[in-house]
Each structure stands twice: as C-alpha cells, then as structure tokens.
Amino acid sequence: MDLLNVKDLSIQFGGLKAVSDFNLSLKNNELVAIIGPNGAGKTTVFNMLTGIYKPTSGDITFDGKNMVGLKPNEFAKEGIARTFQNIRLFNNVSVLDNIKIALHLKVDYDFKSALTRNKDFLKQEEEVEEKAFEMLKIFNLEKKAYLNANNLPYGDQRRLEIARALTRDPKILLLDEPVAGMNPNEIDGVIELIKYIKERFNLSILLIEHHMNVVMSISDKIKVLDFGQTIADGLPEEIQKNERVIQAYLGGGSKAHA
Amino acid sequence: MKLFKGKMTYVFIIGLYIILEILNKTGIINSYMMQIVKFAGINIIMTVSLNIINGFTGQFSIGHAGFMAVGAYSSAVITTVLFKTINWPVYMQIPMFLLSLLVGGLVASFIGFLIGIPTLKLKGDYLAIVTLGFGEIVRAIIRLIQPVGGARGLSAIPQYTNLFWVFVFTFLAIYASRNFVNSSFGRACISIRENEIAAETMGIDTTKYKILSFTFASFMAGVAGGLYGHLLMYLQPDMFSFVKSTDYLVFLYAGGMSSISGSIVSALILTALPEFLRFMSEWRMALYGVLLVILMIKRPNGLYGGKEFKFLQIKNNKRMLETEQH
C-alpha cells in the first residue's frame, strides 16, 4: 500500500490555477523529487501536503487516512514533517530549544505539573533534553546547542531545520530546496546526509530542488512541474532525456544544470 | 518541588521582606513609601503577566488593565458587596480575602478566555484594536453596574493587602511565569512568536496556546487587581482606562520583552521613579518621559531584552561548559 497517495490535486487562487491534477503515490523508503522552473507550483504542492493550503479539488490519503481539510498541526501529528524554502527556524531561540519545540507532542504533563515542576515534569523534561541532544549529535550541532538559531552559519541553519523536522519521527519528510545557497562542498555534505537519514530513519522523502546533481544522485523517481501541470514523471534517466523537460527547464541541450 | 536554584534567593527574598517590615515599624520608611513598595509589587505582577502575552507569545494585547479591573471588582464584590467582611472576625477575614483574590483571578481569566476565542484569529494591529476596545468596554460596563457603585466608584473596601501578601503573590507570579516559560507550554508560546507557520508544522495547536497564554496572564492580572482594590480601598472604573494599560506597556517595553527579570526591574524602577521626581513638581512627568526616551535609545531591547537574572534561569551548567557560547 502507498504511504501517501495524492490524486488529481488542484488548487485555484481566484482565476489562477496554481496546481492542476497533481498525482503521487509515495511508497515506504522512497525518494521522489519534484522539479520545475520557479513558480511552477512546487512549494504550493508542499503547502497542500502539509495543510497550509486547502486544495480546491483532489484527494490526499496518508496511511489510508483522508487528509484534505485538516489543519497543519493535524498533518504534523499524522507524521508529515517539512523544511521550508526560506528557512523557518525559531530564530531568537537556542538551537537546543528549536529541537525541544519539535518534541512538543512527545510530552504529556499537564499545566499544573509544569507550574510546580513536579517529579513527572522533571522526568519528562530530562527525557526531552536527552532526545534533543541525541538529535543534535547526529547532525553535529551539539557543540552549538546554546547558541541562538540565527547566530548559526547558513549551512548549519539548514541542517538544524532538517534536524528539527526529523525530531518529529515523521514517516514522510518534505525537503524544500535544502541546498539553496550552498557551495559544492556543503552540497555534497547534504547529499550524504539525506542518504544517511533516509536509511537510518526509514523515511520516505519528497524533495524540491534545483540542483540537478543532487536530484539525479538520490531520487528514485522524479516529477516535473511547469505552470502547475505535471509535464513528466519517471526515473531519473528518463527525465534527463525527456525533450519537454529539457525545453521547459533544463534550458536547451541535454546538459544537466548544476 | 524545587523553587529557585540556590538557597540565596530564599534568603534574599525573606531578608528583604524582614528588612522592609523593620524599616516600616521603626518609621524610617513611612507608610506612604510602603504603599509605593506595595504598588511596585502589584505592578510587577501586571507587567510579568503582560509579558506572557506580548513578550513570550508575541501577541499584541494593549487592554491589560481591563483584566485588572475585572479582577479588582470581582474580588471587591466578595469582600464588600456580597459579604460585609469588614464586620467579620479577623481570622475569617484573611481566608475571605484570599478567596476573593482567587475569584478575581478566575473571573478575569474566564473573561480572558472568552476574549481569546474570537480574537486570536486576528493578528498584529487588528488584535491590538480589539484588546484596546475590550479594555474600554469593561470600563463602560462597570460604570453601568450600580451595585458596585457605577461611575461613583466602590468605596470602603477593607485594606487587606499588606506587605506580606504583596510579597507572596509577587513571588508566586514570578515563579509561575518562570516555570511556564521553561516548559513545553512556554516553548509552544515562544514558537508562535517566532514563526507561527513553523510552529503549526511541529504539531502545535497555535490557537489553543494563544488562548492559554491569554487565560494564564489574565488570571494573574485579576489577582493583581484584587490586591490593588484591597490596597486603595476604593475602586472607580476610570482607574482602569487605556492610560493604565499603557503604563504596563511602558513597563514591559522598558524592561525588555520576554525577560521576566526585565519586567521586575522596570516595574520597580518606574513605579518608584515618579515619587523620586516629586521634587520637580510640574516637570516630573516631563522628565519621566525624557528618561524613558533615553532608555529606549540606549537600550532598544529594553533593560534586559531577552535575558534573565541568574536566579531565574534554568540551565544545565555541566552541558553548557561543553558548548560554544555566542
């Protein structure tokens, strides 16, 4: 059974059909990339898949459950996590607390316990702290735990965002341009990181990216969007040779645009 | 149940209380100055509670005095209107006073909850206008309620508020706020301030937490109102106008948003400052304003923007030694 099944998903803003009939069947431990020129509707798809936008038509079924119309925090509870195109970290909050906030759903002490800091509260807070540090260690950020998130260098901020999304133990991770603005060294690091977390956390990943070497090296399948419509869908090798894609996106000739 | 880290904090607080009582009894500090100290405590509670909404949750509530009014009147109703407790034996008065404070807090928090539900889908300026309107509506409604004196005001409220109770409730407000902030509840509110969309994708029900912060803060404001009424012995709706709300906004900004320590310090200093400036008579408020402007120029984030005193921090010192600072 598909982990995530999206059928004929469309969204219209007034007269503009931003996304038309987007289809996806995402399986366990699969990485599907969504590529396309700027403005093609890729982030809009992500927004629909996380409840930030409500589609005008179409279905989203996650693990058998119908998701259309649910609020973002309900999507999150089901196990969908994401990073954002323009990094949405909790800036004036420490790196550690960014992770702790992601563990919000994992604590269940009540208000009274929090105000009195009783045994149950302290125990759960200790667990939260342990888990948070474990996650930071995986991403090599534990030495910077108490720095404010906005004081991190750019590459670390992107990694922190991914770490934060993973802390939620999601079944699906949506990565929106995770290597934007990075130099080739950092990009290689992120490629390895994505491969690692896909295996270690048994994730399914949806990836929006413009860097073709990233897309081609880690995707199982690729979908190409242009003006909201899916113009190609298939294996990386097929997409590389697809004329329509090359015209719309790769900009003439069959050289991959790095 | 651990209170503040380190015994020194207890010693300091209890010591301060004892010193003040002694100074009062020996006449070094007269009763007028003692009243300033009590007002300072009440203002600390108000400022710290406003900080929960505006500073930590990043909302824009500018009618906080409305909650204070609701709390003040509700508690006065218990001790003065419903029961003439002034005629009661002393050992019954104190429990009634405490009960009245609880009632004041609960009614204020209920109003806070009711206000919260429709308004918290609003953001920024729109929320501000609604909270401003709320403050004024409370004032207007109280003026119409004859049993509590309406526009003439409610007098003969017994003076149950003494230095001891001010200390107790100020301490409780600071303690509760600090614990709130350092829990998942506080972290959720902070995440709403920082990035509401990201907070939602973490599974945080942002509407629920905005309402929670309003309810918690208005409870404290209600208790502060109860203390206020039982200190002044007289309440009048116009005492709780927008001007009063602005006082607390000024304290909050001067002390630093989302710094509990800042709220404490600024409430103390800015409550006392007009008294120290009395010698300047008509120039007093002008100088007060000038000092505030200088403060905001020199320290745009307030006195303590974002930082806290040592005794209010909850840190894992061993871990911190192993990490980078700044």
- Hunting for tokens 């300072």 — which residue is that? B40
- pLDDT for position B326: 53
B186: Cα within 13 Å, side-chain hemisphere: 22
Does residue B205 sit within a domain?
Answer: yes
First to last CA, chain B: 32
A121 and B183 in contact by Cβ < 8 A?
A: yes
Mutation target vs B (from A95, A117, A131, A137; most B CBs, 10 A cutoff): A117
The rounded distance, in Å, linking the Cα atoms of B273 and B290 is 12
Query: Residue B183 is nearest to which of A93, A114, A143, comparing CB atoms?
Result: A114
Instruction: Please state, as a whole number, how many other Cβ atoms lie within 10 Å of the Cβ of residue A108.
Output: 9
Integer angstrom CA distances of residue A218 from A4, A65, A93, B33: 19, 28, 33, 72
CATH, residue A52: 3.40.50.300
Does residue B209 sit within a domain?
Answer: yes
Q: Which of A143, A172, A171 is nearest to A159 (CA)?
A: A143
Look at residue B178 and tell me whether its pLDDT is greater than 90.
yes
pLDDT band of B32, cuts 50, 70, 90: confident
- pLDDT for position B231: 96
**Count of helices and strands (H, E) across chain B:** 13, 0
Mutation target vs A (from B213, B214, B323; most A CBs, 10 A cutoff): B323
Tell me the percentage of chain B whose pLDDT exceeds 90. Answer: 56
Q: Are residues A97 and A162 in the same domain?
A: yes
Q: Are residues A5 and A132 in the same domain?
A: no
A116 and B179 in contact by Cβ < 8 A?
A: yes
Over residues A206-214, mean pLDDT: 91
Does residue B155 sit within a domain?
Answer: yes
> What residues are paired with A164 via a beta bridge?
none
Tell me the percentage of chain B whose pLDDT exceeds 70. Answer: 91
Chain A hits for B204, Cβ within 8 Å: 73, 101, 104
pLDDT band of B314, cuts 50, 70, 90: low
Does residue A32 sit within a domain?
Answer: yes
Q: Are residues A105 and A157 in the same domain?
A: yes
> Please, are residues B104 and B258 in contact by the beta-carbon 8 Å criterion?
no
Q: Which of B158, B147, B131, B150 is nearest to B237 (CA)?
A: B150
Does residue B251 sit within a domain?
Answer: no
Q: Which of A215, A224, A214, A258 is nearest to A244 (CA)?
A: A224
Q: Are residues A49 and A130 in the same domain?
A: no
- pLDDT for position A248: 76
Look at residue A44 and tell me whether its pLDDT is greater than 80.
yes
Could you report the per-residue pLDDT of B113-169, keeping only the tens digit for each? Answer: 988 887 777 877 888 888 999 999 999 999 999 888 888 999 989 999 999 999 999
Over residues A189-206, mean pLDDT: 93
Total count of domains within chain A: 2
Does residue A213 sit within a domain?
Answer: yes
The rounded distance, in Å, linking the Cα atoms of B181 and B187 is 6
Backbone angles phi, psi at A205, to 5 degrees: -130, 135
- SS3 assignment, position B156: coil
Mutation target vs B (from A52, A89, A101; most B CBs, 10 A cutoff): A101
> Please, are residues B132 and B218 in contact by the beta-carbon 8 Å criterion?
no
User: Domain of B71?
Assistant: 7-36+54-241
Mutation target vs A (from B121, B181, B182, B194; most A CBs, 10 A cutoff): B194
Look at residue A102 and tell me whether its pLDDT is greater than 70.
yes
Look at residue A177 and tell me whether its pLDDT is greater than 90.
yes
Does residue B312 sit within a domain?
Answer: no
Query: Residue B324 is nearest to which of A103, A111, A147, comparing CB atoms?
Result: A147
A144 and B180 in contact by Cβ < 8 A?
A: no
Does residue B168 sit within a domain?
Answer: yes
A93 and B320 in contact by Cβ < 8 A?
A: no
- pLDDT for position A51: 93
Q: Are residues A117 and A149 in the same domain?
A: yes
Mean pLDDT is lowest, of A110-119, B22-31, B71-80, for: B22-31
- Dihedral of the alpha carbons of A46, A49, A53, A57, in degrees to the nearest 10: 120
Q: Are residues A209 and A235 in the same domain?
A: yes
Question: Counting beta carbons within 10 angstroms of the beta carbon of residue B14, is it exposed (0 to 12), middle (13 to 18) or buried (19 or more)?
Answer: exposed
> Please, are residues B301 and B254 in contact by the beta-carbon 8 Å criterion?
no
- pLDDT for position B294: 86
B2 and A90 in contact by Cβ < 8 A?
A: no
First to last CA, chain A: 35
Could you report the per-residue pLDDT of B49-70, keeping only the tens digit for each? Answer: 999 999 999 988 999 999 999 9
- Hunting for tokens 């994730």 — which residue is that? A203
Backbone angles phi, psi at B154, to 5 degrees: -110, 120
B199 and A97 in contact by Cβ < 8 A?
A: no
Look at residue B317 and tell me whether its pLDDT is greater than 70.
no
> Please, are residues A173 and A203 in contact by the beta-carbon 8 Å criterion?
yes
Total count of domains within chain B: 1
Does residue A86 sit within a domain?
Answer: no
Q: Are residues A10 and A120 in the same domain?
A: no
Does residue A221 sit within a domain?
Answer: yes
Q: Are residues A57 and A182 in the same domain?
A: yes
Query: Residue A73 is nearest to which of B185, B205, B319, comparing CB atoms?
Result: B205
B321 close to A (CB below 8 A): no
Taking the CA of residue B241 and the nearest CA in chain A, the distance in Å comes to 31
pLDDT band of B306, cuts 50, 70, 90: low
Over residues B204-212, mean pLDDT: 92
Could you report the per-residue pLDDT of A64-73, keeping only the tens digit for each? Answer: 899 999 999 9
Look at residue A256 and tell me whether its pLDDT is greater than 80.
no
Restricting to B residues 141-180, those with a Cβ less than 8 Å away from any Cβ of A are 176, 179-180
Does residue A84 sit within a domain?
Answer: no
> Please, are residues A114 and A125 in contact by the beta-carbon 8 Å criterion?
no
Position with higher pLDDT, B34 vs A255:
B34
Q: What is the CA radius of gyration of chain A?
A: 19
The rounded distance, in Å, linking the Cα atoms of A78 and B124 is 30
B297 close to A (CB below 8 A): no
* Listed residues A168, A188, A211: the one ending a domain: A168
Q: Classify residue B235 by its DSSP letter.
A: B
Q: Are residues A75 and A62 in the same domain?
A: yes
A18 Cβ contact partners less than 8 Å away, ≥ 6 residues apart = A11, A12, A41, A44, A228
Q: Are residues A73 and A176 in the same domain?
A: yes
Look at residue B71 and tell me whether its pLDDT is greater than 80.
yes
Q: Are residues A17 and A57 in the same domain?
A: yes
Does residue B115 sit within a domain?
Answer: yes
pLDDT band of A254, cuts 50, 70, 90: very low
Q: Are residues A74 and A181 in the same domain?
A: yes
- pLDDT for position B299: 77
Shortest CA distance from B4: residue in chain A: A117
Shortest CA distance from B205: residue in chain A: A73
pLDDT band of B6, cuts 50, 70, 90: low
- pLDDT for position B144: 94
User: Domain of A100?
Assistant: 91-168
The rounded distance, in Å, linking the Cα atoms of A134 and A125 is 14
The percent of chain B in helix, strand and coil, each rounded to the nearest 5, is 75, 0, 20
The rounded distance, in Å, linking the Cα atoms of A49 and A51 is 6
* Listed residues A117, A151, A168: the one ending a domain: A168
The rounded distance, in Å, linking the Cα atoms of B13 and B9 is 6
